[in-house]
Every structure is written in C-alpha cells, then in structure tokens.
Amino acid sequence: MSKTLELTKELISKKSLTPDDAGCQSLLANRLKDVGFNIEHLKFGDVDNLWATLGDSGPLFVFLGHTDVVPTGPIDEWHSDPFVATDNGKLLVGRGTADMKGSVAAFITSIEAFLEEKPSLTGRIGVLLTSDEEGPATDGVCKVVEHLEKNDEKIAWCLVGEPTSDNHVGDVIKIGRRGSISAKIIVKGTQGHVAYPDKANNPIHNFSSPLSELSKLVWKDETGKFQDSVLQISNINSGTGATNIIPGNLVLDLNVRHSPSTSTEQIKNDVESIINNYSIEYEILWDIGGKPFLTTEKELIDAVMKSIKEVTDMDPTLTTDGGTSDGRFIAPTGAQVVELGPGNASIHKVNESVNKEDLDKLHLIYKTILLKLVTKA
C-alpha cells in the first residue's frame, strides 16, 4: 500500500467531526516538521488551524485543505465502520476519504516525495489546514488569512484539495466559485380566527404574490464562466399547526449563488424592490456567506493542467459550478486559486469512498505541480 493510502487510513481513524480536529493536524504537523517546515498551530475559538511553511524567499505556493468531516448519518446504513478506512476492491471506504482527508494525505506525501529529490527551490511551500470548513467557517481559514495579512504574508498560488473530479481524477478542476448571499424575511401579519378574516391580516396570503416574483428572479452572468444566478427559497414557516387560526407572521429563508457579474448590493436591491411594491410590513436580515471569485491568470492553471496531462494523459474541464469552498477566503488577497481533488460522487453520503488508484495519481499530480512552480526549470 502506498504512503498516501496509509496516511489516508490513519487520518480516517481520527473521528474529526466538525469542528473537532481529533489530532489530525498534530499528526500532519509532525510529518511536515520532519522535512523542515516551520509549524504554527493557530487556535481560534474551538477551531484548530495549522499553518506550515518551508523556504526563505520567492513566491508562496499553498496547499489548502480541511481535516474536519461531516456527521456519518445513519450508522446502520454503512457497510463498515465509517472511522475505520476499509478496502473494498478499488475503493477505500470511510468518512472523509474523498472530502477531504485523501487530498490532505496526498498534500503531505507529495511534499515528502518532492523534497526527497533535493530540488533547488525558487519559491516557498505552505500548507494551510482547518477543522472549520464543514461547519460555520467563522474561525477557520478566514481567521488565518487575517493573521497572515497582519504579518504581510502573501500567497501567490493556492491549490485547494476539494473533491472536484467526476469520473477520473483530474478530469475536472475548478477555477472559480460563485458567491453566496442569504436572507431571512419576516413577514408580519395579525393573528386571528379563520372565520373572521376581516379582523386578522394573513401574512401567507399577503406574501404569495411577491413570493412568485422572487422565485422568477434571474441575474445573467456576463463572464461566460458561470451559470446565471437564480434565487432559491429554502424554508417557509408560518402558522401554529391549528387549522382554525390565521397566522401572525411568516418566516422565509432564501439564497442566491451568484457570479462576479452580480453584486450583493444588486441582489439586495432587486429583492427588496419587489417586496416594496406591495403593502407588506416586513423585516429582512441579510447574510453574505462568501464572495465569488474567478482565477483568470494562467500561471497556476497552466501548471495544474500540464501536470494532470503528464500524469493521466487527460485534458481537464475547467468549471466554476458547485457550492462554496475555503478558496473564497484566499482569492480576495490576490492569490491565484485552483481546486483539484478526487471524485465527488460519494461525498457527505453514507459509505463515502475514494478510488485508491486516483489518490495515488493525485499524489503524483500534486508533486508535479510543485516541480513546475517552485523549482528551477
């Protein structure tokens, strides 16, 4: 079994349910320290973060990942213990194999293999790990970035190990992500008896027309790299449960995943303009989950694409779809950000798994990227 698979199995054995790191970062820090990295353990709130660097000068290349995992779901639906990595033919099964302990293991083993060749470094290498990616993401990478900026530490290139691949490792990479903005709308009415609607004010009825308009909102992408932005209603709650009471309020949650073409201010204005066309008393609370980003510079993209081609003989598809990632905190600093990891078909599901051969190829791709970016040609 390869060193990458062995390290993945060791990481899976640590029950790091978000935001608990469960000792993953200490294990990885020791491996990095052994090959000359400077180690910083950065604790914010209940979240463990690891910042490790190697080298004295030159542009900084960073592997970005997370050690936390989502809950297992129904244990009785797993075919094996989710925290014991289990060989199943071509697959390695366990919580976090794909998202994203396999990638994290490949970070470390690719660095070790790269340094065994005693390369002449033209840049620096960093590893940034958090245990707060699957949770609120308030004390993880965003806080580490603040720490780095206070210390004038600038990342040139960032490779995020999120599971991006569809059928084979390296067939898809992400060069950007949509932003996320959410709102909670509280529509106020007057509770009363259904037999006396003239003495009440039904917020469900009042909001039915603006709701219909909101659900049809579309913001066109002008970059040619993203899907158009649409508004999605995720929750609606109203009423007491009784059939003879007109409710006193309605609470609605919505979310928009948007491209760089559409600002959060535009979304706010368009949503509120629709509601303001009606005689409705309401309150709206906005929350920006992340800004969109798009890497247009070719240096990192070319290094990743050429490395994939050399290892797999495939030309990857470049996309910006899917949810958010911690890359949204790195991109605003001016860094080039690309995401590349194993297959994502089983992430967050019971019996999560990763193709073992894909992980070994990922190790080679990561090593090849290092050779292209931080060594002399």
Instruction: Note the pLDDT tens digit of each residue in 174-199.
Output: 999 999 999 999 999 999 999 999 99
Q: Which helix (H) or strand (E) holds 144?
A: helix 141-150
CATH number of this structure's domain 179-290: 3.30.70.360
Q: According to CATH, where is 3.40.630.10 located in the chain?
A: 3-177+292-373
The arithmetic mean of pLDDT across residues 82-90, rounded, is 96
What superfamily in CATH does domain 3-177+292-373 come from?
Zn peptidases (3.40.630.10)
User: In residues, how long is the chain?
Assistant: 377
Active-site choice (133, 139, 221, 339): 133
Tens of pLDDT along 139-155? Answer: 999 999 999 999 999 99
Active-site choice (68, 139, 326, 352): 68
**What is the model's pLDDT at position 286?**
98
Active site residue 48: no
Mean pLDDT (the chain) is 97
- Residue that the structure tokens 């390296």 belong to: 170
pLDDT at 201 over 80: yes
Q: According to CATH, where is 3.30.70.360 located in the chain?
A: 179-290
pLDDT tier, 129 (very low <50, low <70, confident <90, very high otherwise): very high
The arithmetic mean of pLDDT across residues 31-59, rounded, is 97
- Enumerate residues 6+ apart whose C-beta is below 8 A from 283: 185, 186, 188
* Residues of the chain above pLDDT 70, percent: 100
Cis-peptide, bond into residue 19, ω within 30° of zero:
yes
The arithmetic mean of pLDDT across residues 336-341, rounded, is 98
Active site residue 133: yes
The Cα 146–Cα 227 span in angstroms is 30
Tens of pLDDT along 5-25? Answer: 999 999 999 999 999 999 999
**What is the model's pLDDT at position 107?**
98
